[in-house]
A and B are shown apart, each in its own frame.
Chain A
Amino acid sequence: MSKPHAIVIGAGFTGVAIAHDLALRGFEVTVVERGPIANGTSGRTHGLLHSGGRYAVKDQESAIECIEENTILRKIVPDVIEPNGGMFVAVEESDLEYREEFIAGCEACHIPIEEITPQEALRLEPHLNPKVITAFLVPDGTFDPLRLALAFAATAKSNGAVFHLFTDVVGMVLDGNGNVLGVKVWDRANDERYEIRGDIVVNATGAWVGQITKMAHGHVPITPTPGVMVAYGHRFVQRAINRLVRPSDGDIVLPQRRMAVVGTTSFSVDDVDYIPIIRDQVQMMLERGTKLIPELGTAKVRGIYMATRPLIGSSGPGRSISRTFKAYDHKDLDNIDGLVTITGGKATTCRAMAEKTVDIVCEKLGISAPCTTKEVPLISYRRFYVD
């Protein structure tokens, strides 16, 4: 019997992790991506390998997913991660109001934390605001976004997955009953159009899932929620610095190579293909960032960028929507067979998102194959190009 053929739309974190999981479970895999690897939200992530501390009070489902996946990613893809931990710091008296909730939340989610003195915090991170009142060490990390995605893609490719980059999905191949048989694509690098047929189509296009489901006359409730990040050209800190407050704007400073990256904001948009930089938000990142690292104000800006989170749900302000993820079988949602959509989630949880999605795909196709991605180490990201 020939292998079942899965078509994955999107080569962001979710798409490449799904391709990897499908390939390990014995599928023939074709990935279609309209740009290069990780060109949308994934590439433009802050780069924080979440410990879950940020969500431990208000969004414990996400927090638990984060700490579990943080541990797994450190093990399976250590070569794209700066595993230096993180710190939550209180810099104003009012921040202390959050301290008890934070401790209780982390305990409930099994996130290991350690409270340290301001002196110790400043010894570890000398550029920290000297007004630090208390600090907690957490197992955060940082990662290179493109290389994280490439590592999944490289491993998928080594197991037979085929990638069609710079190739837009322009329509669905439907049967007479509206079920999905495949995709119609446009290879923009060579200006060629063709069809790809498969046993299942997986829509892993994040903030763009609505554009794809629309082609199949289906729908998925998501709220595209962009935020700004500002990269400064000096590595002021060696670990992720989080403000000890409820998740808010501009309350995280990350190290990455020779940079410090401050983020982020949260607002709603309609068109996600091009998000203009909002100058007021850039200024706010500087103001908020300097509360954590005062010297940020002396550093040169190296980059400013907007990334659009694909939050699940269809209403409400961005900060109140859970960061968890959800996979939908459109047979249940819209009575359309052959299409599964995954959205929501975070970079940190991409492997778990893939596991859940491929579980649904296997169940739909009557295939019994356990997920092994928790244990299988990824190969070097460079091997995406080595063949």
Chain B
Amino acid sequence: MSDEKWTVTFIIHRQKGPDSQPHFDEFTIEIHPEEFVLDGVEYIWAYKDRSLVFRHACHHTTCGACGMRVNGVEKLACMTKIADVTQDGGKIKLEPLRNFPIVGDLVVDLGPLYRKMHEVHAPEVIPLCASPWEGEGIKPPQETPKREDGEEYIRLPDCIECGLCVSACPTAASDAEYLGPAVLAAIHIQGIDENPDLLALADSREGVWRCHSAYECSAVCPSNVDPAWRIMDLRKQIIARRLKFKK
């Protein structure tokens, strides 16, 4: 692998406090094309401007903290390679996620999402047998290995609560009360047959019928959740229940 660095200009959204006027600052740095956008942001904070605020924690897509808009598209900055979003001598524009309150610069308050995930009691860990398998879409695998003691393996779920889907969703942009893609996906994963409270939420005014089928959520999801498919499947399940009860 070449050690040659690129010259890249980061154009970063700046805003101190939720009520001040936003603007953009430019920072030109030398960075390896195989490094990630988050590395560039951290470099700029370390050597160019200590006042910059941004969210990050794990740097490897398990925590969901570093969601932002990179050249207008929702991405996890930690898995977005410089080479995939610009070129030598090029620019990268960074903006905070949409549809969340701004805290400052690139930081938004993901509280509304976490609160809704809490309300629908989205599981924090799930059995492996309930987790979609690689390469098999979102369907659970036919067979999963068991532990040596015969118990199910437990794993962290796919959804990392990063908020990219909410930021990309045109419905969320016009309706803050809309449950939104991640939350509806969390309802789908738990099942409406088993959870009457979730059925009522999914079938409510701010539930699956609010969705305009833009599919932007699934396009930006970095973690294989496919919320749009799940919302459509919830609609099918709800319609099927209505038909069944009519008979």
The yes or no verdict on A and B being binding partners is yes
**Separation in Å of the B10 CB from the closest CB of chain A?**
14
In the complex, whether B12 has a CB less than 8 A from a CB of chain A is: no
> CB-CB < 8 A to B114: which residues of A?
382, 384-386
Q: Is the CB of A35 within 8 A of B56?
A: yes
Please choose the segment from A38-46, A216-224, A312-320 that sits at the chain B interface, where 4 or more of its residues have CB less than 8 A away.
A38-46
A-facing residues in B79-106 (Cβ within 8 Å) = 79, 103-105
CA distance A168 to B56 in the complex (A): 16
Q: Is the CB of B125 within 8 A of A82?
A: yes
In the complex, whether A326 has a CB less than 8 A from a CB of chain B is: no
What 0/1 pattern do residues 25 to 69 of B give for CB contact below 8 A with A? 000000010111001001101110011111111111111110000
With contacts A145-B62, A191-B17, A303-B59 known, what are 5 further pairs, Cβ within 8 A?
A43-B57, A166-B104, A302-B60, A385-B109, A385-B118
Across the interface, B55 reaches (CB within 8 A) one of A36, A126, A258, A277, namely: A36
CA distance A44 to B63 in the complex (A): 10
In the complex, whether B194 has a CB less than 8 A from a CB of chain A is: no
In the complex, whether A79 has a CB less than 8 A from a CB of chain B is: yes
**Separation in Å of the B29 CB from the closest CB of chain A?**
11
Q: Is the CB of B42 within 8 A of A47?
A: no
Residue in chain B with minimal CB distance to A87? B148
Q: Is the CB of B36 within 8 A of A303?
A: yes
Please choose the segment from B155-163, B164-172, B204-212, B227-235 that sits at the chain A interface, where 4 or more of its residues have CB less than 8 A away.
B155-163
In the complex, whether A16 has a CB less than 8 A from a CB of chain B is: no
In the complex, whether B134 has a CB less than 8 A from a CB of chain A is: yes
Residue from the set B39, B43, B63 with the largest chain A CB neighbour count within 10 Å: B63
Please choose the segment from A1-9, A54-62, A229-237, A240-248 that sits at the chain B interface, where 4 or more of its residues have CB less than 8 A away.
A229-237
Which residues of B are in contact with A by a Cβ distance under 8 Å?
A: 1, 3, 16-17, 32, 34-36, 39, 42-43, 45-47, 50-65, 78-79, 103-105, 107, 109-111, 114-115, 117-118, 124-125, 128, 134, 145, 147-148, 153-158, 160, 223-224
Residue from the set A47, A188, A259 with the largest chain B CB neighbour count within 10 Å: A188
List 23 A-B residue pairs with CB atoms under 8 Å apart, sorted by A's residue number: A35-B53, A39-B56, A78-B125, A79-B125, A84-B147, A137-B148, A144-B156, A146-B57, A146-B64, A147-B63, A188-B50, A189-B53, A189-B104, A190-B104, A238-B147, A238-B153, A256-B62, A257-B62, A257-B156, A274-B47, A277-B32, A302-B61, A385-B115
What 0/1 pattern do residues 79 to 114 of A give for CB contact below 8 A with B? 111111100000000000000000000000000000
Across the interface, B63 reaches (CB within 8 A) one of A78, A144, A238, namely: A144
In the complex, whether A361 has a CB less than 8 A from a CB of chain B is: no
> CB-CB < 8 A to B63: which residues of A?
38, 43, 144-147
CA distance A273 to B49 in the complex (A): 13
Q: Is the CB of B79 within 8 A of A303?
A: yes
> CB-CB < 8 A to A120: which residues of B?
148
> CB-CB < 8 A to A126: which residues of B?
145
Residue in chain B with minimal CB distance to A168? B50
> CB-CB < 8 A to A37: which residues of B?
57
CA distance A44 to B65 in the complex (A): 12
> CB-CB < 8 A to A256: which residues of B?
60, 62, 156
What 0/1 pattern do residues 148 to 187 of A give for CB contact below 8 A with B? 0100000000000000001010000000000000000000
Q: Is the CB of A274 within 8 A of B42?
A: yes
Q: Is the CB of B147 within 8 A of A258?
A: no
Across the interface, B223 reaches (CB within 8 A) one of A84, A231, A257, namely: A257
Q: Is the CB of B103 within 8 A of A189?
A: yes
**Separation in Å of the A238 CB from the closest CB of chain B?**
5
- Chain A count of residues within 8 A CB distance of the other chain: 63
> CB-CB < 8 A to B154: which residues of A?
81-84
CA distance A84 to B32 in the complex (A): 37
**Separation in Å of the B121 CB from the closest CB of chain A?**
9
In the complex, whether A364 has a CB less than 8 A from a CB of chain B is: no
Q: Is the CB of B158 within 8 A of A43?
A: no
**Separation in Å of the B6 CB from the closest CB of chain A?**
14
> CB-CB < 8 A to A381: which residues of B?
124
CA distance A126 to B47 in the complex (A): 46
**Separation in Å of the B162 CB from the closest CB of chain A?**
11
CA distance A36 to B55 in the complex (A): 6
Across the interface, B53 reaches (CB within 8 A) one of A188, A305, A382, namely: A188
Q: Is the CB of A305 within 8 A of B57?
A: no
**Separation in Å of the B172 CB from the closest CB of chain A?**
17
Q: Is the CB of B148 within 8 A of A190?
A: no
B-facing residues in A17-42 (Cβ within 8 Å) = 35-39, 42
Q: Is the CB of B118 within 8 A of A382?
A: yes
> CB-CB < 8 A to A83: which residues of B?
154
Q: Is the CB of B103 within 8 A of A191?
A: no
> CB-CB < 8 A to B34: which residues of A?
279
Q: Is the CB of A189 within 8 A of B107?
A: yes
CA distance A189 to B19 in the complex (A): 11
Across the interface, A38 reaches (CB within 8 A) one of B42, B57, B104, B160, namely: B57
Q: Is the CB of B124 within 8 A of A147?
A: yes
Q: Is the CB of A43 within 8 A of B58?
A: yes
Q: Is the CB of B58 within 8 A of A259?
A: no
In the complex, whether A261 has a CB less than 8 A from a CB of chain B is: yes
Residue in chain B with minimal CB distance to A83? B154
> CB-CB < 8 A to A214: which residues of B?
none
Residue from the set A124, A137, A271, A274 with the largest chain B CB neighbour count within 10 Å: A274
CA distance A188 to B114 in the complex (A): 24
Across the interface, A302 reaches (CB within 8 A) one of B51, B79, B128, namely: B79
In the complex, whether A255 has a CB less than 8 A from a CB of chain B is: yes
> CB-CB < 8 A to B128: which residues of A?
238
**Separation in Å of the B132 CB from the closest CB of chain A?**
9
**Separation in Å of the A107 CB from the closest CB of chain B?**
20
**Separation in Å of the B69 CB from the closest CB of chain A?**
18
